[in-house]
Each structure stands twice: as C-alpha cells, then as structure tokens.
Amino acid sequence: MYAYVIRRLVEAALILLGVSFITFILLYLVPADPARQIAGRSATAQTVENIREQLGLNLPFYEQYWRYLVNLLQGDFGRSYLQKSEVSELIAARLPASLLLMVAAICTELVMGVMIGVIAAIKRDTPLDKGLMVFSFVGVSAPQFVVGILLLYVFAVQLQWFPIGGYGTFAHIVLPALTLGVLGTGWYSRMMRSSLIDVMTQDYIRTARAKGMPRYRVIFRHALPNAFLPIIAMIGIDIGFFMSGIVVVESVFGWPGIGQLAWQAIQRVDIPIIMGVTLVSACAIVLGNLVADLIAPFVDPRIKLK
C-alpha cells in the first residue's frame, strides 16, 4: 500500500513536471511580449528593456524555465504581469470559492444522480425509467451557459428567489451548484443505472434473492455497494474537472473561483497566472484520481493496490 502511494506520488510529480514544461513552452511561443505589455503604450524603449532584464525575459528559454522551476519549488509562482500581485496570493484568494462550489456541485450530482440511477435501474424498462433517462440525456447534452442563464432568468430575475450572481451566502451557491449538478446528474444517473443493472445479474444477487432476502435489502445491502465503484472513480475525475476552473458557470453567476482568474489571465496573456492556474489544476486532477484509486479498495475489498 505505502509503496503504491509513493510510486503514484512520484508519477504525479513527473506528470506535473511535464505539464509545467509543455505550458511554459507554449506560453513562451505566444507572440505577445510581456515586457511591452507591462511597460504599456507610453513607455520608452529603455523602460521596456529595463523590464525585460529585471524579469529575466532576455535569457534563453531553458534558463527561464529553470529559474521558474527553482522558484516554484520554493513555493514562488511569480508575480502577475498585469495584476501586479503574487500569483500564489491570487490563487489562494480564489481557492475557497472554487472548493465550495466543487463540494456543492458534487453533492448535488451525487445525490440526484444516484437516486435517479437507482430508481431507473429498479424500474428498468418502465415508462418511469425511460422518462428519467430522457431527463439525464438532456442534462448531459445541455450546454452549461444555457442551463445557467435559464436558471438565472427563471429563479433570480423572474421569481427573485435567489440573488443574481455573487458570493457569500447559501442562497448564492444554489443556482451555480444546480447548473453544474444538472450536467453531472446526467452522467452519474446513467452510470449508476447501468452499473446496478450489471450487478443485479450476478450470481450472488440471485443467491441472496433465492434464500428469501427482501428485495430492498438485496439492493441496498449487496447490490449498491458493488455498483458504486465507477461512481467513486467519477468523483475523482470531477474533483480535477471542477478545480481546473468552471469558466462558464463562474462567469454567468459572478462566482469568484479559479475559472474567472484563468479566463481573465488568458484574455490578457498574463503568463504567470496562466502557469499557476494550469499547475494547480493539474495537481488537482492528479490528486483527485489518486484519492479515488486509494478509496476503491475500501469500497470493494476485491481490489488490491499493487
């Protein structure tokens, strides 16, 4: 087990190194000149040159990358070119909002998705099953901005049950979590349904039924835990997905998460922020998957970590 975790962590470090290298090289190739951007339109050539020198932008690529790595290992993500703050501070300020939305969205999709999936599996091939699957299909297919704006318009603008965007109270999180939840619910319910149907055909389920165990007990005691495994893997993927920034939903609802920061930085080619956000989200994806893999053996003892 420990050997497995250590091996995975080493792998994770290598993946992050690779991500940092690829991102750095891509941003290096962008034709925008950071020194000129910082200097602004009224700067003299001398000012631009000074800035280029101070930031080390005149150094060869490998030296710039090396410098970045050395600083990174000391926890220094650099300073934003345009926001003029420490990138680590900017990301840290937005982490709580991103984490909160992630937890709320995962809870929403998990509860709704599992519920719908189980009902659909139990009522397999009935009109109820068909209806629920159409709902989940629509949920998967609908673009986030359509769902988001629709919910915003109906529940915030027309009915005025919720604030029009913002952050700070429980009321603020309902609509963004629901928007993300509808999408996730589609995935989770379909996954839950097929997984449960699959498990229900297993021998041990037939045995349990044959010895007279009540149907609901068979489902909840024996079938559900065994059918739950893919859901856990999906949560692991979702953690990474949500932490890499949910640009559209955050923009629609004015949610101060990492997605907005990333989007602003990309539009203005603020390279240190783009680097920082990419690394943080790569980290989240790698760790999310690792955690999901580590939890799996506890849910299903048949799995052994090697």
Indicate the residue among 161 and 204 with the shorter CB distance to another protein: 161
H/E stretch holding 173 reads: helix 170-200
Minimal CA–CA distance to 192: which of 163, 152, 235? 235
| Residues numbered 227-286 forming contacts with another protein, rule: CB under 8 A | 250-256, 260-261, 264, 267-269
**Is the CA virtual torsion 100, 259, 10, 300 positive or negative?**
positive
State in angstroms the smallest separation of the CB of 19 from another protein: 22
3-state secondary structure of 111: helix
Write the interaction track for another protein spanning residues 69-98; mark x where CB under 8 A is met and - where it is not: ----------x--xxxx---xx--xx--x-
According to DSSP, residue 301 is labeled: T
Indicate the residue among 42 and 74 with the shorter CB distance to another protein: 42
Answer for which of 57, 164, 232, 299 binds another protein (CB under 8 A) is 164
According to DSSP, residue 206 is labeled: H
Answer for which of 6, 14, 70, 157 binds another protein (CB under 8 A) is 157
Indicate the residue among 51 and 196 with the shorter CB distance to another protein: 51
Question: Using the rule CB under 8 A, is 51 a contact of another protein?
Answer: yes
Question: What's the token pair of residue 176?
Answer: 């963004």
Minimal CA–CA distance to 237: which of 305, 174, 188? 188
State in angstroms the smallest separation of the CB of 254 from another protein: 5
State in angstroms the smallest separation of the CB of 226 from another protein: 43
State in angstroms the smallest separation of the CB of 251 from another protein: 6
Write the interaction track for another protein spanning residues 96-115; mark x where CB under 8 A is met and - where it is not: -x------------------
Minimal CA–CA distance to 144: which of 296, 252, 288? 252
Instruction: Tell me the C-alpha to C-alpha distance, in Å, between residue 119 and each of 113, 190, 247.
Output: 10, 11, 33
Cα–Cα distance measured from residue 269 to residue 281, given in angstroms and rounded to the nearest whole number: 18
State in angstroms the smallest separation of the CB of 284 from another protein: 18
Can you give the length of the chain in residues? 306
3-state secondary structure of 76: coil
Cα–Cα distance measured from residue 196 to residue 183, given in angstroms and rounded to the nearest whole number: 20
| Residues numbered 9-48 forming contacts with another protein, rule: CB under 8 A | 30-33, 36-48
Number of residues that bind another protein (CB under 8 A): 53
Using an 8 Å Cβ cutoff, are 116 and 132 in contact? yes
State in angstroms the smallest separation of the CB of 249 from another protein: 12
Indicate the residue among 113 and 272 with the shorter CB distance to another protein: 272
Indicate the residue among 40 and 75 with the shorter CB distance to another protein: 40
H/E stretch holding 294 reads: helix 271-299
Indicate the residue among 23 and 189 with the shorter CB distance to another protein: 23
Cα–Cα distance measured from residue 299 to residue 186, given in angstroms and rounded to the nearest whole number: 23
Indicate the residue among 196 and 261 with the shorter CB distance to another protein: 261
Q: Which residues bind another protein (CB under 8 A)?
A: 30-33, 36-48, 50-51, 54, 79, 82-85, 89-90, 93-94, 97, 152, 157, 163-169, 171, 250-256, 260-261, 264, 267-269
